[in-house]
Amino acid sequence: MTSTADQARSIVAGTEADTPDVAAATLAAAEAFSTYRATTPTQRADFLEAVAAEIEADKDAIVEAAVAESNLPEARIAGEVGRTTGQLRMFAGVVRRGDHLGVRIDPAMPDRAPMPRADIRQRMVALGPVAVFGASNFPLAFSTAGGDTASALAAGCPVVVKGHPAHPVTGTLTARAVSRAVEKAGLPAGTFSFVLGDGVELGQALVQDPRIKAVGFTGSRGGGLAIAATAAARPEPIPVYAEMSSINPVVVLPGALAEADTTALAQAYVGSLTLGSGQFCTNPGLLFLPAGEAGDAFLEATAEAVAAVTGQRMLTPGIAEAYATGTSALRDTDGVRVVASGDEGGDQAPAPMVSEAPAELLADADSAVAHEVFGASGVVVRYDSVASLLPHLDALEGQLTATIHATAADSAEAAALLPTLELKAGRILFNGWPTGVEVGHAMVHGGPFPATSDSRTTSVGSLAIERFQRPVAYQDVPADLLPEAVRDDNPWGLRRRIDGELE
């Protein structure tokens, strides 16, 4: 145990933040806002890269704390550190490029008849201080310095993180790394704050605070909906980007099944389903499988694969308990058949399970089949034809992902599914599994409600920066008073839209 980690543990032991701490953090954020939002692209990008470097400097202590607090394997956590720093550096690149500033210039037309046209210029500005709620299942990449924080900072917004109570030391260590970068960059301390505490009250106080102008959240549907309701009920409602729940339907088409190595396909499915105890937003919770012999064979291979998996320790006792409740409800549902279970892995490490259910239960909101069980529980639904499948897909709620397994022989069927799936999900993938969300420019980790509270965006990938901005137009503003981004001499070398046409 390093001394840094010891220090973080002492901090955690001593600090159960209550609402006054929230108020202090939001006040500091509000005071930091004018300075931080005025940073140049280079300053802000340098700062984001410095945050990544400071996290790397404490990598050993952070990994050790995160493994201890999350029960996740060291290799996974080490990978997550890389994902977190990579994400920060990606946003540094986005900020340097400056396309997110969305510069538009409609030059004056003094001679236009019947009325001259004014000079009008548009750029994006930062919304204001952002509250970020860390996720239980990604103590780094979706937490203190994760995607929400990185994209909000990239947009020019100070951030107040409510650390997740399941990994307070990890969060504190990460927060200290970010704050060191803030200090070294000469930015106001309030550019980044970290508050800790178990209570729902603390989160509510943060969302209700009038200085907070947007919220990022990754977690449960209940938590996300509560935050969205609180934000909507404020005297000044604010946007909430809550990434909540998804069962990520997978459709295996007959051709894919016929051509596949059945055992390998089943093992890949079970691998995705049980990865990290199934504690992923993109866990493949629902699989549509053709009726008939090939499907039977896949199900048998799946049963074998599941039976060979031993449960891994889940993140928290509460999550393990919810998994137990959810899988019991499935077992107790008329018409649901347990295909196979793995072995329990000891305390807080329940057995993975695959069950089979009739399609009709999907549409029954009271049925256990219709709800996400967070963890390694998969439901298989058999179907006769793609035509019979469509209404069931259509009846599903909004999803983060939808997957099709298809070969060239399935082309017509896959094409028939696509229009429905793209209205249901933020990401459509072929011949793969939805776990493993690439951080990049084209990624969408979002989707229609209730997968998220706001389908118009993504919480992973560079588009996420747009969540924390709003446009301002400058009309006939004297040249020397214009913000750099919209000046004629274009000091930041930005791509601009002139009269609607990109330069």
Q: Which helix (H) or strand (E) holds 405?
A: strand 399-405
**Quick one: 335 or 491, whose CB is closer to a copy of itself?**
491
Cα→Cα distances 482→70, 118, 394, 468, Å = 49, 15, 50, 22
Do 413 and 367 contact (CB within 8 A), yes or no? no
Single out the catalytic residue among 281, 372, 397, 413.
281
User: Nearest CA to 13 among 178, 168, 199?
Assistant: 168
Cα separations (Å) of 450 from 391, 404, 496?
Answer: 19, 21, 36
Nearer to a copy of itself, 173 or 494 (CB): 494
Measured from the CB atom, is 351 or 414 closer to a copy of itself? 414
- Both tokens of 467, joined, read 């969540």
Beta-bridge partner residues of 50:
none
Q: Minimum Å distance from CB 363 to a copy of itself?
A: 15
How far is the C-alpha of 248 from the C-alpha of 462, rounded, in Å? 22
Nearer residue to a copy of itself within complex by CB, 206 or 231 = 231
Give yes or no for a contact between 247 and 285, defined as CB atoms under 8 angstroms apart: yes
Residues 6+ apart with CB under 8 A from 427: 400, 401, 402, 434, 443, 444, 445, 447
Identity of the residue numbered 438: E
Q: Shortest distance, CB of residue 275 to a copy of itself, whole angstroms?
A: 13
Measured CA distances, 296 to 20, 30, 139, 371, 404 (Å) = 59, 60, 39, 25, 19
* Active-site residue, selected from the candidate residues 54, 243, 356, 413: 243
Q: Output the CA torsion sign for 226, 228, 232, 237.
A: positive
Among candidate residues 463, 272, 253, 264, the one with its CA nearest the CA of residue 378: 272
Please say which residue, 23 or 477, places its beta carbon nearer to a copy of itself. 477
* Cβ at position 97, least distance to a copy of itself in Å: 7
* C-alpha–C-alpha distance, residues 301 and 295, integer Å: 10
Given the complex with a copy of itself, which of 286 and 486 has the nearer CB atom? 486
| Smallest separation (angstroms) from a copy of itself to the CB of 204 | 17
**Least distance (Å) from a copy of itself to the CB of residue 241?**
11
Both tokens of 141, joined, read 């990449």
How near is the Cβ of 200 to a copy of itself at its closest, in Å? 20
How far from chain centre, in Å, is Cα 392?
26
| 281 in active site | yes
- Least separation in angstroms between residue 151's CB and a copy of itself is 14
Half-sphere exposure of 142 (CA within 13 A, CB side): 21
Identify which of residues 201 and 430 has a Cβ nearer to a copy of itself in the complex.
430
Catalytic residue ranges: 243, 281
